[in-house]
Structure 1
Amino acid sequence: MSKINLIFSLLILVSIQSFAFQQANLDRKDVDFVYYDVNGTSLDSISAHLLAEDIFKITGEKPEVLTSDKAISENSILIGSINSEFIQEQLSEEIPASFQQLKESYYQGWSKDQTHFIIAGTDARGTAFGVFDFSKLNGVSPWYWWADVPVEQKTKLDFPAESYFSKEPSVEFRGIFLNDEDWGLQPWAENTFESETGDIGPKTYAKIFELLLRLKANTIWPAMHPSTKAFFHYPGNPKMAEKYHIVLGSSHAEPMLRNNVDEWTKEFGRFDYKSNRETVQNYWDERVAESKDIDAIFTVGMRGIHDSGMEGVKSTEEAANLLKTVIADQRSMLEKHRGKSASEIPQAFTVYKEVLNLYDHGMQLPEDITLVWTDDNYGYIRRLGNEQERARSGGAGVYYHASYWGRPHDYLWLSTTNPALIWEEMHKAYQMNAKKIWILNVGDIKPAEYNMQFFMDMAYDMEKFDAPEKIEKHRNQFYKDIFGNDLGNEVSAIRKEYYQLAWERKPEFMGWSQTEPTTEVKSTDYSPFDFGDEIQHRLNAYQSLAHKTDSIFKKLPADLKDSYFQLVHYPIKGAALMNEKQLNRDLAEKYAKQGRLSAKKYQRKSVNAYDSVQQLTDQYNQVISEGKWNGMMSMKPRNLPVFHKPEFKDSIQHIEKTASFFIEGGSKNQLPNFYKGTNETYFIDVFLSQTETVKWSLDDVPEYVMVSTKNGELNADFGQFQQRIYFKIDWDKFGNSTRNEDSLILKIGDDFHEIQLKINEYQLSEATIVEKNYLAVVYAEHFKNKSDSENGFWQKIGGLGYSGAVMQAKPLDQLPLDTLNFKEDHPKLTYEINTETITDSAELIINAVPTHPLTNQHKVRIAVQWDDEPVEVLNFETFGRSAVWKVNVLSNKAQVKLPLKLSNIGKHTLKVFMIDQGVALDFIYLKTKDISLPYTLIKETSLQN
């Protein structure tokens, strides 16, 4: 076919990755051959063969894969280095020298005669990224194998209409840490996928490495738990890393590519550099020699055998000094075996746990070593670099968790870390120049697929994630790419709700238990008796979410069901069932203490939810994808108490009366106050305490009071143990009445109970925040005024926090503001609150996302002024693994409190001043009486005339 005909055959202009492509509408197969450079790398060959497989998935026709020493035919894709003779002689245009110097970048364009499509990288990984981006453009998901995402077949391939030059990745080393693999990846590999090895071996790593390259990632920290042999135990593992050009690293606890858990034996003695230096040196030297040709980042420093503190030292000062010696010796080893200066060899010093204390003690670290900052295991980065640290030649990076084993509680089962938190923390890290190394602890990979994709996409191109709004855009596109535009938007919406519900409490944390040491399950902090029944609200939310995922699952085409089950259905249903198990157990225990016979009903519901989790997990392992993932999913990693079958310790308390009632809020004879102009609904529960039949009714109900039902019957024989009555005010019928007290009669059997009603009214000139029933609720984003200055500003981050939008102190690259002058110099948020209580014992409770100080020059402070009272400085900072920190990370909120005196009824002003950058305000409570606070954030209490 002539050059002119080929050009005119390129049709249908669309957009992809900021460049246009058009479909090659040819009278033949699009691609007959894939050629790769015979003098190229092993990854060129791998990429070429995988591309041929991808084209087969797309078109049903598989091109032949040949090397460049064969005659080049038309209708071909050519793969190789942009600097190779093979590619250079085919190019139709001059390649800028500046592009050729970029790392991991690629060119896509047509050959001189327009019969060959060229994919050429500035290095081997760049070429692979170009190949896999071409596949993705044509509908092959990076998750085609790891999540069984089907490929939509078509007759023609899509090609770029114009030459395309990719950019250099934003973060140089981007990858994952395979961790806590004992309950998924390792048993699955051993028994299902790689039984010939009986472990995570080269066959498994080949699939992992392919996934990384399709995600445009490049680094692996291999699995290293006792259940798994060390990466180097199987010679095929490092060879596979070399073939795929994956950068090999090791975790914070594994210096010099060693796996201490598996490789340091008792015969070696103590892993103590002070008393056993020569043995430790030989141990490291052997690995450095063995890996001298491997592309690697060497973890330097030293900790204990497995994620523990350094052995043999008695003080922080001694440990810091010893570490200095350790690192100097390690660098000498690297220079000896790699034949270059240590400053040219990638090295990482991960300031994890106690190592941060050693570093902050004043330990001297060579400038060229990359400082890897860490989160606190729960998604909150412990600190980032100050101005001096940000200028280090070795740069900085982040080790971040999307899965974790440890105290106060594991979260190894379902992946629920909110992408908005990942964005906030990693965007913060990038702005603070921590962009050399990004490693994500993904546990077993599944079911962390989306968070892994999100993290890697950010690492590859942070420009696409420059604003919080890009979080939702990315999530929508991810699911639309897999499930189509209409269903994709539905799926994205329920996934957003899934992350938001887990923000309050992860499924793994619903037992209100802890580990290390392990404690038993106890009652949750959700109240069934207050705030509209928090337990039922949460159950309703999860049941609605489960219903939505069931509905989507039913209408999916058959070829999408397995993928949907893995990516969406199992996590959502699993989270819903865990909440049903724990919250119904909670209801059973709390109702038993009140003598309610209905406690037995909730015991059954709790046990049924447990059984359903088992059935759902069996479906994951044995049914979907014809058993491909058998052994991958465990419903009880580490067998912690929260995963156990529920037990019920409290028997139903004996009550003399046959039936009784309970009023929301716990009053004996009064519903919570109603407020004119609002839509509060309150409830009364009528319940049986003995196996009888009892009738109940409401009498003398004021005409303006709406009730869900005015009479009913409780019948133990039919399982009708209790009934809930809802009360609401019809304000049209209430009219302009000034009557603020009333009553009604609740009759249960032969007993009569007078129930009091009270209606309050605010005289307000405009919409504002009000105290109702001794509580005012303020969302941080609902300020009356926002005052920015040259010193900073408050930025809204949507999708984060209990309220769904936090206000964060910016910019991040500044020093804290002073704590002496709180006038125009300090950016501030102003709120107006109306109160109805005079008291000397009010309390302001300010809730923030539990972030840590931005640098070692920051804290987590704000300043608060109530009316004209003195300004108070408050600090959200926590230390180490304190009890407060544990509560914070389990609930995803930090609190500071300020006692107040309310000497007048009416309008008050609250001002919040910025001090430390990075503080992220979520919501505020004003409590005017000693009442329990809701666990779930209730709707903001505002009124309008």
Structure 2
Amino acid sequence: MKKLLLAGLFVFSIWRVPAQACNQPLAACFQGVEGGFALIAEGRPADVVVEATADPAVQHAAESFAADLQRVGGQPARRIADMHQARGSVVIVGVLGQSALIDQLVKARKLAVADLAGQWEGYRQIVIDQPVPGIERALIVVGSDRRGAVFGLYDLSEKIGVSPWHWFADVPVRLQRNVYLVGGSAGDHPRVKYRGFFINDEEPAFGDWAKQNFGGYNARMYAHVFELLLRLKGNTLWPAMWPPKAFNDDDPQNIVLADAMGVVMGTSHHEPMTRAHDEWHRHTEQGVTGGKWDYGSNAAHLRTFWRGGIERMVSKGHGQAYDSLVTVGMRGDGDEAMQEGTATQLLETIVSDQRAIIADVTGRPARETPQVWALYKEVQDYYDHGMRVPDDVILLFADDNWGQIRRLPTDDKPRAGGYGVYYHFDYVGLPRNYKWLNTNQNEKTWQQMDLAYARGARALWMVNVGDIKPMEFPLSFFLRQAWNPEAMTVEAMAAFPRDWAGAQFGAEAGPAIGALLTRYSQYAARRKPELIDADSFPLGATDGRPRDGDALDGGEFAARVAEWDTLEQDLLKVRAGLRDEQLPAYFQLVEHPIRALANLHRLYYAVAWNRRLAAQGDPRANAFADRAEAAFQRDAELKAEYHAIGDGKWNGMMAQTHIGYSGWQQPDHDVMPLVRRVAAQGTAPIEVEFASALDRTSSVGNGVDAPLVIEAAKFARAIPAAGLQWQVVPNLGHSSDAVISLPQGQPPTRQQDGMRLEYDLELAGAGDLHVQLLLVPTLDVSGAGEQRIGVSIDQGPMSVLGSRLVPAPTEATTQEQRDWNRTVEDNLRRLQLTLPEVSAGPHTLKIWRLDDNLPVQTLVVSRQPLPASHPRPASQAVRE
């Protein structure tokens, strides 16, 4: 296991950690603090005291915390169970009401934690003097329950410089001779009850990696996944499930370890009653499974199968069950829709029968076992048509698989089980898979999940992360927001890239690396790499056949390539200032995704020019063919470089195919795009002109083809109303910023309310004025049918623009489905209208808030009609 030895090595380096206010209670400081607690003094860590009777989850976290102290201080930390063995500074860890030592301190009035009792996963960190005779000072980490204590420890680990990604992304630990915690008390608790991720679409990348390094999907592998989840303050996991994988069946120790570490195990939206889908196709000879996955014709076998899942869940012993969140309901075999015309009554019967099994096996009312019903794809239709499940079941709404939430609660009626959201960072399906790299904007995740929280989805946040890597950055953000959505303000969201990068690479590098991650995310989100080909973006226009030596107008395609080129150059500048031990993490988290996507754009740009020039018989096509083939080879080299990190620690993790898609499903292997060569007539230089930006003048006149493009955030006036404010969200969408109304989740407003944005224009000439709004894609989450926004000019009447996007789970055969396909492919929503006979001179264009959840990013104004699919690269937006 040489390739995994990095996990046990302590990589020491000294550089400044992210700045912390050393006057805040329990802040970590790296020099003496008056009245503070010496967590590490001259390299010697404090003792970690955990009673032998403590819950296994607390024991596991204490072991990890002790190892973290050694990673930071360089010397082993003692784990002891008896306070009589303690010496010097001590950290005491326990659960309120379950720890004799903690309860003794409470009884002696040394700990004031009465408000902690009964909290879900709450914790308190308190520095106290003389907890017991002979100990001058102690740090108490007390949890309201077992996971509260776990999170209290891992919170300290992160404060002292141990990244949650120290193993899963090789982030080095910063050596500190001294670590002091400011005295006082600090604590927290989550606002979303269940928070976690789903390992999905895991072949070939995650699957190959697990088999090569661990021999499969066993407890040795999942130990790292569980620890990552908990360090990120998540608590729930949907495990890898695509055949031939089955979490409980592959290794019986998987569920044992998950429960021992404090992880709540669930199963995906189409795997009821804790059963992995692949289990249905196993063990048929035992009579547990068999026949069709069809409740109408095979209910008895299905009930037997499901009963086995619940029996396994309660097999922990002593009348206890493994910590689980049980999925109820049913979809078709292989995550397909159930048969056409399935009645909601049948699904209600299925859920009722499943709950009867739960009650019978557990010996308790079904409501005492946490359950979730996922309203995924067609299942939401059943809900919309009136299907209901008992009030204690969590209703899990879903997005459209592309980051737009489909539905949310629409009334204030409380629901015992509450509501949640299943969100996607990775997907297999129409209009095309996206599984290779992170293509998600934290800004979009923030906008959608802030809306979800405002509308009452607070019971479960689950995100599909594919192979986990390379989703480190967006997953960190998702779980940070899930822990406390109220604290994730626009300002906190905007600061997150800098702060997160600073935590991985040091405070000095934080701003620069955070900016790289922000730009990467924005560029990557414009169009998923699996959707990019030689025809994705226009080249510049040509008049007839270019002559040898003529400069080639690269158009919008060249502008996009130029952005990626600049970003790659900037990452190399930052890389030059990093220390050697930081480079493996930098390559995984920053360098590889930027260089890989920059290279992909150059590949298809070269193919686009090759095909155009070859069709014209221009021999310069050959040079572009060479460039394309070199870029294709470079893609393979970048993958190999990733797989070589740490002597092959991550071998296989970048094996996902991504070049050569011809339909929605991935090709078996990367396919070099077709290029053509032309008989050479001498060597001709290649000069490519980047397309000039769109007309940057401040006026629009008759006969002018180039429209005026205005960023929505560059408004002249923002008029609030009805308790709402306009908010600029930095970097949301294709351009630099977008504008939304806050707080989200509020009812519609009317024109008479006056909630609007105003833009001053100077128009030359008179005539019709064509206006196009470019919006960040969203869906109507209320079920009302469409989303509306108003447009007017000066004191003229308001025109209402409304549209209804319909997610297309099947081939796009209707106009609504085609509109949705185009919207998610472009990651851009377009609404437009024509204002008739607008005079020359100064005018004020007004955008009116009517419905919620419509982020505006760009306005396009033109005297000429604008096509519905008019491309607008972000780099060409006017910034005045």
TM-score for the superposition, normalised by structure 2: 0.86
In structure 1, C-alpha distance between the alignment counterparts of 2:651 and 2:169, rounded to whole Å: 13
Matched with 1:734 is none
In structure 2, C-alpha distance between the alignment counterparts of 1:631 and 1:16, rounded to whole Å: 46
Are 2:201 and 1:180 equivalent residues in the alignment?
Answer: yes
User: How far apart are residue 566 of structure 1 and its match?
Assistant: 0.7
Of 644, 648, 652 in structure 1, the residue corresponding to residue 674 of structure 2 is: 648
Contact 1:850 1:876 in 2 (8 A): no
User: How far apart are residue 878 of structure 1 and its match?
Assistant: 0.8
Contact 1:386 1:857 in 2 (8 A): no
Of 819, 823, 838 in structure 2, the residue corresponding to residue 888 of structure 1 is: 823
Matched with 1:155 is 177
Task: Specify which structure has the bigger relative contact order, considering alpha-carbon pairs within 8 angstroms and separated by 6 or more residues.
Answer: 2
Matched with 1:703 is none
Q: Could you tell which deviates more after superposition, 499-508 or 899-908? A: 899-908
In structure 1, C-alpha distance between the alignment counterparts of 2:311 and 2:146, rounded to whole Å: 24
Amino acid across the alignment from 1:434: A
Q: Deviations over 1:427-460 (max 9, x none)?
A: 1111111111011111111010111111111111
Of 523, 533, 548 in structure 1, the residue corresponding to residue 535 of structure 2 is: 523
Are 2:82 and 1:68 equivalent residues in the alignment?
Answer: yes
Q: Could you tell which deviates more after superposition, 893-902 or 863-872? A: 863-872
Are 2:359 and 1:335 equivalent residues in the alignment?
Answer: yes
Contact 2:719 2:756 in 1 (8 A): yes
User: How far apart are residue 724 of structure 1 and its match?
Assistant: 5.4
Aligned pairs (5 A) from 1:110-259: 110=128, 111-112=130-131, 113-164=135-186, 166-192=187-213, 194-195=214-215, 199-259=216-276
Aligned pairs (5 A) from 1:496-645: 496-511=518-533, 523-529=535-541, 533-622=555-644, 624-636=645-657, 640-641=661-662, 644-645=670-671
Q: Deviations over 1:49-78 (max 9, x none)?
A: 212211221122112323238744444322
In structure 2, C-alpha distance between the alignment counterparts of 1:44 and 1:811, rounded to whole Å: 38
Contact 2:292 2:298 in 1 (8 A): yes
Of 786, 796, 805 in structure 1, the residue corresponding to residue 718 of structure 2 is: 786
User: How far apart are residue 498 of structure 1 and its match?
Assistant: 0.6
The structure with more radius of gyration: 1
Give the secondary-structure state (helix, strand or coil) at the position aligned to 1:865.
Answer: strand
Aligned pairs (5 A) from 1:274-289: 274-289=296-311
Matched with 1:919 is 854
Amino acid across the alignment from 1:405: V
User: How far apart are residue 555 of structure 1 and its match?
Assistant: 3.0
Aligned pairs (5 A) from 1:45-60: 45-60=59-74
User: How far apart are residue 725 of structure 1 and its match?
Assistant: 11
Q: Deviations over 1:829-864 (max 9, x none)?
A: 233334446556x63322111100131246311122
Q: Identify if the C-alpha distance between structure 1 residues 220 and 471 changes in structure 2 by more than 3 Å, giving closer, same or farther.
A: same
User: How far apart are residue 203 of structure 1 and its match?
Assistant: 0.7
Q: Could you tell which deviates more after superposition, 471-480 or 502-511? A: 502-511
Amino acid across the alignment from 1:281: R
In structure 2, C-alpha distance between the alignment counterparts of 1:784 and 1:131, rounded to whole Å: 49
User: How far apart are residue 371 of structure 1 and its match?
Assistant: 1.1
User: How far apart are residue 525 of structure 1 and its match?
Assistant: 2.8
User: How far apart are residue 631 of structure 1 and its match?
Assistant: 1.4
Give the secondary-structure state (helix, strand or coil) at the position aligned to 1:400.
Answer: strand
Contact 1:185 1:444 in 2 (8 A): yes
Q: Could you tell which deviates more after superposition, 499-508 or 106-115? A: 106-115
Of 798, 810, 813 in structure 1, the residue corresponding to residue 730 of structure 2 is: 798
Matched with 2:546 is none
User: How far apart are residue 554 of structure 1 and its match?
Assistant: 3.1
Q: Identify if the C-alpha distance between structure 1 residues 358 and 889 changes in structure 2 by more than 3 Å, giving closer, same or farther.
A: same
User: How far apart are residue 802 of structure 1 and its match?
Assistant: 2.0
Q: Could you tell which deviates more after superposition, 85-94 or 573-582? A: 85-94
Q: Deviations over 1:548-574 (max 9, x none)?
A: 222222332111011111111111111
Q: Identify if the C-alpha distance between structure 1 residues 103 and 27 changes in structure 2 by more than 3 Å, giving closer, same or farther.
A: closer
User: How far apart are residue 337 of structure 1 and its match?
Assistant: 2.1
Give the secondary-structure state (helix, strand or coil) at the position aligned to 2:600.
Answer: helix
In structure 1, C-alpha distance between the alignment counterparts of 2:425 and 2:556, rounded to whole Å: 28
In structure 2, C-alpha distance between the alignment counterparts of 1:441 and 1:341, rounded to whole Å: 31
In structure 2, C-alpha distance between the alignment counterparts of 1:498 and 1:444, rounded to whole Å: 20
Matched with 1:680 is none
In structure 2, C-alpha distance between the alignment counterparts of 1:595 and 1:249, rounded to whole Å: 60
Amino acid across the alignment from 2:193: E
Give the secondary-structure state (helix, strand or coil) at the position aligned to 1:274.
Answer: helix
In structure 2, C-alpha distance between the alignment counterparts of 1:384 and 1:94, rounded to whole Å: 41
Amino acid across the alignment from 1:523: D
In structure 2, C-alpha distance between the alignment counterparts of 1:72 and 1:393, rounded to whole Å: 46
Matched with 1:484 is 506
Q: Deviations over 1:785-819 (max 9, x none)?
A: 3333227443322210122222224443433345x
In structure 2, C-alpha distance between the alignment counterparts of 1:307 and 1:726, rounded to whole Å: 45
Contact 2:699 2:708 in 1 (8 A): no
Of 339, 352, 369 in structure 1, the residue corresponding to residue 393 of structure 2 is: 369
Q: Deviations over 1:601-624 (max 9, x none)?
A: 2221122111111101101112x2
Q: Deviations over 1:64-100 (max 9, x none)?
A: 3232387444443222223211223356623232212
Q: Identify if the C-alpha distance between structure 1 residues 406 and 543 changes in structure 2 by more than 3 Å, giving closer, same or farther.
A: same
Q: Identify if the C-alpha distance between structure 1 residues 284 and 17 changes in structure 2 by more than 3 Å, giving closer, same or farther.
A: farther
Matched with 1:324 is 348
Contact 1:553 1:561 in 2 (8 A): yes
Matched with 1:720 is 685
Are 2:425 and 1:402 equivalent residues in the alignment?
Answer: yes
Contact 1:324 1:364 in 2 (8 A): yes
User: How far apart are residue 900 of structure 1 and its match?
Assistant: 4.3
Give the secondary-structure state (helix, strand or coil) at the position aligned to 2:801.
Answer: strand
Of 855, 859, 867 in structure 1, the residue corresponding to residue 782 of structure 2 is: 855
In structure 1, C-alpha distance between the alignment counterparts of 2:441 and 2:701, rounded to whole Å: 31
Q: Deviations over 1:579-638 (max 9, x none)?
A: 11112211222233444332222221122111111101101112x222111112125169
The size of the alignment, in residue pairs, is 809
Contact 1:403 1:412 in 2 (8 A): yes
Of 300, 322, 329 in structure 2, the residue corresponding to residue 301 of structure 1 is: 329
Give the secondary-structure state (helix, strand or coil) at the position aligned to 1:486.
Answer: coil
Give the secondary-structure state (helix, strand or coil) at the position aligned to 2:874.
Answer: coil
Contact 2:774 2:830 in 1 (8 A): yes
Give the secondary-structure state (helix, strand or coil) at the position aligned to 1:843.
Answer: strand
Give the secondary-structure state (helix, strand or coil) at the position aligned to 1:271.
Answer: coil
Q: Could you tell which deviates more after superposition, 76-85 or 863-872? A: 863-872
Q: Identify if the C-alpha distance between structure 1 residues 587 and 335 changes in structure 2 by more than 3 Å, giving closer, same or farther.
A: same
Q: Deviations over 1:390-447 (max 9, x none)?
A: 5222111111111111111111111120000011011111111111101111111101
In structure 1, C-alpha distance between the alignment counterparts of 2:610 and 2:175, rounded to whole Å: 53
Q: Deviations over 1:257-303 (max 9, x none)?
A: 11123434576111111111111111111111110211111111111
Aligned pairs (5 A) from 1:694-709: none
Amino acid across the alignment from 1:343: R
Q: Identify if the C-alpha distance between structure 1 residues 79 and 27 changes in structure 2 by more than 3 Å, giving closer, same or farther.
A: closer
Q: Identify if the C-alpha distance between structure 1 residues 95 and 773 changes in structure 2 by more than 3 Å, giving closer, same or farther.
A: same
Q: Deviations over 1:115-159 (max 9, x none)?
A: 443222111111111211222222111111001111111222333
Q: Could you tell which deviates more after superposition, 231-240 or 861-870? A: 861-870
Give the secondary-structure state (helix, strand or coil) at the position aligned to 2:588.
Answer: helix
Of 108, 112, 116 in structure 2, the residue corresponding to residue 99 of structure 1 is: 116
In structure 2, C-alpha distance between the alignment counterparts of 1:392 and 1:377, rounded to whole Å: 26
Q: Could you tell which deviates more after superposition, 111-120 or 350-359? A: 111-120
Matched with 1:378 is 402
Give the secondary-structure state (helix, strand or coil) at the position aligned to 2:770.
Answer: strand
In structure 2, C-alpha distance between the alignment counterparts of 1:33 and 1:879, rounded to whole Å: 58
Amino acid across the alignment from 2:538: Y
Amino acid across the alignment from 1:832: D
